[in-house]
Amino acid sequence: MGFKINLGVWNGIFCVPNDVADNCLKLAGGNDLKVLLYLLRNSGRDEDVSDMAGKLLLDKEQIEESVNFWVQRGILEISGTGELIPSRTMADGASISSEHSHRSSSHIRRIELEKTPDFAPAEIAATIKDEKETEYLFKHCEALYGRPLKHNEQRTLMLILEDACLSVEVAMILIDYCFSVNKATPAYMRTLALDWANSDIDTLEKAELKASELKAMNDAVGRFKKMFEVSSAFSKQQREYIEKWAITYKFSDEMINEAYQRTMDGTGKLTFKYMDKILENWHSKGIISMEQIPSDNKSDKKSSSDKGENSSLDLEKLQRLVTDEI
């Protein structure tokens, strides 16, 4: 698989479009120029990408990104049949006649690369060219990264818009959030986008609320790692407990720390199930401040006993929970 450029009767001439020298040299990187010159010099041949990579000392993704660079700069374009062809617009803006274009039959035939199972460079470039909102999203991401996007990053943006079906404004909120928490990797963005799609995060208001909740959750995780003196990452289940306590129940850090201290006193170690029973008990009783918390577990038990209820903080029950967790 690879690219083939065919300049027809001009195959014996190694030429470079004026527009490359006049308008693209400031932006083109060394890899971009190497790929373009190689294709032009080897016009009329089927070029395998693996062979190109070996000769140019590049990997396949770098070659793909460079081809995409020339598409975005208008040196190449996509035809109606999905092929990459040299731009049919002259440097002065005049279009070449279709008859002349057909006679010269200059074209680059795209063959999908092994590392690109979806959204090839030509398709991405055509989308950016035709959709101004998408173009703005790509430029916004380039500004955040501080460099041109790699093909994997471009493909991720397309997946967010096309596969996850998020609008550009929602995608913008998602991407800004990823950068704010230093998780701007394509893999994390894709995972988060699919999660938002499954959760029907389809409006600007929903996206802003979700991003705010995620930031609050990340902040809570950081605080509780220090509070619990934990150095390793929390498990998924532990994060769900933290989300319930801090986001759903809206308990203050002081209240959660009190539950933590009672857990340590009762079990001698951090046990999320034990803590959860304490906090669930407070929540069920409408306790929302430190002043409302009983002074110790005995008063909790006594309060429940006075009402003829079984205390959810029964010591034996909690010890069984600890044993089960171990």
**Which residue type, as a one-letter code, is found at position 109?**
R
Residue 244, exposed/middle/buried by CB under 10 A (0-12, 13-18, 19+)? middle
**Distance, CA of 33 to CA of 69 (rounded, Å):** 10
Q: Taking the domains of the chain in order of start, what are their residue ranges?
A: 1-114, 131-202, 211-325
Kindly report the length of the chain: 326
219-270 residue pLDDT tens:
999 999 999 998 888 898 999 999 999 989 999 999 999 999 999 999 999 9
Whole-angstrom distance, CA of residue 211 vs CA of residue 17: 46
Rounded Cα distance, 34 and 28, in Å? 10
- The whole-angstrom distance between residue 2's C-alpha and the CA centroid of its chain comes to 28
Mean pLDDT by runs of 10 across the 326 residues of the chain is 62 74 78 85 74 86 78 67 55 36 30 45 86 92 94 90 88 95 91 89 93 91 91 89 92 94 93 95 93 67 43 54 53
Does the model's pTM come out above 0.85? Answer: no
pLDDT of residue 106: 30
The closest of 22, 78, 128 to 87, measured between CA atoms, is 78
pLDDT digits (tens, 9 = 90+) for 155-178: 999 989 887 889 999 999 999 999
Rounded to whole angstroms, how far apart are CA atoms 225 and 82? 52
The whole-number pLDDT of residue 118 equals: 63
pLDDT value, residue 271: 93
Q: What is the dihedral of CA 301, 305, 306, 308, to 10 degrees?
A: 150
The whole-number pLDDT of residue 96 equals 33
The rounded distance, in Å, linking the Cα atoms of 251 and 245 is: 6
